[in-house]
Structure 1
Amino acid sequence: MAHGKSTERMRKVGPYGVETLPQVFTAGSGLAAYRDAAASVDVPAAPAACRDSLTERARLHWHRHDGGDPAALAEEFLAAHGLPLHDLTHPARPHSDSGVCGAALYLSAAAGAHLAGAPTTAPEPAPTLPDLTVVVYHHGPTRPTPPATPTPWSLGPWTDSWTPRQHADAVDAVRAAIGRGDVYQTNLVGHAAARYTGDPLPALSRLGALPGARYGGVLTGDGWAIGCASPETLVEVTDGHLITRPIKGTRPATAAGRAELLASAKERAEHIMIVDLERNDLARIARTGTVTVDDLFAVRRWCDLWQAESTVRAVAADGLGLADLLRATCPGGSVTGAPKHAALTQINALEPVGRGASMGALGWVTPGHVDLGLTIRTAAADTDLLHTWAGGGITWDSDAHAEVAEAAAKTAPIRATLAGHRRTHDRR
């Protein structure tokens, strides 16, 4: 693995090797001038006690057109930089305030589909976003976060990638496929973009303060940034114990909405289908007979919505490494459908644009511990536009107009927060 001086740019030297250097962000990109050493790290699931003392030391970007296996590339890159994740059954190593702390890991939904061998031909609305990013952080001296320089912020109107009618037609197409026996459930996701002026990083950072944002935070790159308010655990590994927390089923956060969600046969069937899929995903990488389900269809709150969540647990098979973990769990079953490969094929045919930063994985990894959120309730910025995505699972009992309304309800708090129209709350 080659290394260079910190003032140089990252350059690719092959599908399984890169020269990696600290990242510098420039004002000309439309993102504010920024260096990783100038502000605290706000990556979802990063250790809270370390965020003001982390310094970026190495960075990897990968796009699908680079070729190769992103899961293997991530594992090899981390090992080369002092973070061996070849065997996640080992106990998490004791945390040290010196040296390497851990790494941010982001994998796009398209990269997950690539790992699953599914087609990914839809055009990406934000092509500057990488499909894999790994950022290694070391401890440095504790530093205060500098005060932000106020900049005028303006967000234009949102333009959707499909009309409500086109979205409803796609729902009907999924129902027809279910009737033919092609799939049991498919998750459909819509995209919208809005032009902005000013620095998008404060707007994206506000997402992490939305209620229920278990994976709230921001990851930035050269000319792009991702802001996350996700409540959903894609996969967590601690000392060889695996957890995933699929979310399926949504209603307004009122007493009547909670009662309706609990009583909905359609939502419960949709949810249990995905729990079964997640059980199967974990079983591929777990010790035989260790997969269990806790808190089936527990109702949790995210912003102004009730959502149903279950917890699936297992004990990792001997020698399970990060690459096999990513291959088994990405993309997440709650944002694909069942069977997963058939659903991904239908998603590629029906959705007009790619899923970009959404419906992928984002979080923190260190030896013996992986904590990745599913990037629902997520927005991204490129040099000119902010992007959001939202959708829902389609079953035979789905009503097309209700599904369109549900997607709008999910994206409304994100759009309002990005515009600065919503008072945020403490992260919880």
Structure 2
Amino acid sequence: MRVVSRKSTERMRVDGPDGMETLPGIVAEVPGAPAGCRRVLTERARWEWRPADGGDPAALAEQFLAAYGLALHDLARPGPGHDPTGVCGAALYVSAAAGAALAGAPAAAANPAATLPEVAVVVYGHHPVPAPPAPAGGRWWRGDWAESWTPGQHAAAVTAVRAGIARGDVYQVNVVGHASARYAGDPLPALRRLAALPGARYGGTLTGAGWAIGCASPETLVELADGRLITRPIKGTRPATAAGRAELLASAKERAEHVMIVDLERNDLARVARTGSVRVDELFAVRRWCDLWQAESTVSAAAADGLGLADLLRALCPGGSVTGAPKLAALQRIAALEPVGRGASMGALGWVAPGRIDLGLSIRTAAVDTERVHVWAGGGITWGSDPAAEVAEAAAKTAPVRAALAGG
């Protein structure tokens, strides 16, 4: 088990075109962390996992958390009372690639952010004095975006998925593209701008040695409260206008695509739930993220007795709304079609503590390594998908993310 000391995470050297160097410190702005704790969180320990490390990352993460007093081996039981002098909880990041490995899917394209781990756990306690507001940061320069595929190649991937649906191989596949740009300066203010986008339920950042993630996700992968598991899949997008809302609500194609993923999430939850406890609490509600309407449902279930964090991650990762159905067949198509790995996107990022879990699905997410900033966007493909419309939808989803990361 690779444990990274706090000191080793405090320095990230970045040499851009003008040779600038940045030294971001530890910033506890974890998505899903309790609001009353954010300004007093201080890092106690961290663990990172990469495929070369071997072992089962879900089991290793659960063991690491237990070693620091965060017992997550029986999520159905209430957690202990809050101890202001002890460990508060932990940030948990699980990449889409790690989730696919947990699901038994074939390896996909390599992570384009080479310094980024596939799993990270950061344990936090409380500092007696609230931290001052984050500094504005130094100069930030971002170069032009280099796309991982052309619009024509993206459209061809959509066509290939439709051919697979016609053969009966899959019902739906989420196809994701990637872009990256060189940068110089301190990346954290730009990532914080991203995290502050309207509708970012899981807005926040997570940093490490040579990497950082910024998230503006609106989507709940899994929440645990009072022994009940909740997931809120999002599927279906239109411009945030009155006409766009009406069009989304009236679209038979979007509703069919959405219900297919709701059924997948019901099945995933049933694997780790008490028998008969899975229910759909809300179906096809329209929510706003930036300048887009999106359709969201709420599915919940009572956690089965003895359910641990590792089994929960194996059941739900990667999230159904960013894979497709059936999940394993969709992951096989994704591995064959996408030229660049999903990196920090389409995974899980949030907060875990005994009795409380709040993990967002890391859509609308960016990552930086020591040289480049990376973004991803895509959408679910069904038989009724139009390739040109799918390319346009992905561009609409990534536009606010790219704007937040603009250089100055």
Q: Could you say what secondary structure the match of 1:47 adopts?
A: coil
The equivalent position to 2:105 in structure 1, one of 90, 103, 118, is 118
The equivalent position to 1:34 in structure 2, one of 14, 17, 24, is 24
The equivalent position to 1:167 in structure 2, one of 137, 151, 154, is 154
Number of equivalences: 402
Structure 2 distance, partners of 1:296, 1:27, is: 44
TM-score, length-normalised on structure 1? 0.92
Is contact 1:53–1:142 with CA below 8 Å preserved after alignment?
Answer: yes
Over 3 Å counting, the alpha-carbon distance change for 1:19 and 1:394 in structure 2 is closer
Q: Deviations over 1:148-192 (max 9, x none)?
A: 264221111111100000000000000000000000000000000
State the partner residue of 1:8: none
Is contact 1:25–1:223 with CA below 8 Å preserved after alignment?
Answer: no
TM-score, length-normalised on structure 2? 0.96
Kindly state the Cα deviation for residue 256 of structure 1 after the two structures are TM-superposed.
Answer: 0.3
State the partner residue of 2:6: 22
**Which shows bigger deviation, 24-33 or 192-201?**
24-33
Is contact 2:222–2:358 with CA below 8 Å preserved after alignment?
Answer: yes
Over 3 Å counting, the alpha-carbon distance change for 1:89 and 1:363 in structure 2 is same
Q: Could you say what secondary structure the match of 1:211 adopts?
A: coil
Confirm or deny that 1:44 pairs with 2:26. no
Q: How do residues 25-174 of structure 1 correspond to structure 2 at under 5 angstroms?
A: 25-30=10-15, 32-36=22-26, 39=27, 41-145=28-132, 148=135, 150-174=137-161
Letter paired with 2:184: T
Give the superposed CA RMSD.
1.3
Q: 4+ residue runs of structure 1 moved beyond 3 angstroms?
A: none
Is contact 1:234–1:244 with CA below 8 Å preserved after alignment?
Answer: yes
Structure 2 distance, partners of 1:27, 1:273, is: 43
Is contact 2:14–2:184 with CA below 8 Å preserved after alignment?
Answer: no
Letter paired with 2:25: R
Where does the alignment leave 5 or more consecutive residues of structure 2 unmatched?
Answer: 16-20
Q: Deviations over 1:181-237 (max 9, x none)?
A: 000000000000011111111000111211110000000000100000000000011
Is contact 1:270–1:395 with CA below 8 Å preserved after alignment?
Answer: yes
State the partner residue of 2:166: 179
Where does the alignment leave 5 or more consecutive residues of structure 1 unmatched?
Answer: 1-16, 422-428
Q: How do residues 20-419 of structure 1 correspond to structure 2 at under 5 angstroms?
A: 20-23=4-7, 24-30=9-15, 32-36=22-26, 39=27, 41-145=28-132, 148=135, 150-419=137-406
Letter paired with 2:13: G
Kindly state the Cα deviation for residue 43 of structure 1 after the two structures are TM-superposed.
Answer: 0.5
Q: Could you say what secondary structure the match of 2:31 adopts?
A: coil
**Which shows bigger deviation, 201-210 or 346-355?**
201-210
Over 3 Å counting, the alpha-carbon distance change for 1:28 and 1:299 in structure 2 is same
Structure 2 distance, partners of 1:182, 1:384, is: 39
Kindly state the Cα deviation for residue 35 of structure 1 after the two structures are TM-superposed.
Answer: 3.1
Q: Deviations over 1:41-96 (max 9, x none)?
A: 10001112111211111100001222111110110000011100000011132222
State the partner residue of 1:10: none
The percentage of aligned residue pairs carrying the same residue is: 72
Q: Deviations over 1:22-50 (max 9, x none)?
A: 143225245731332xx5x1000111211
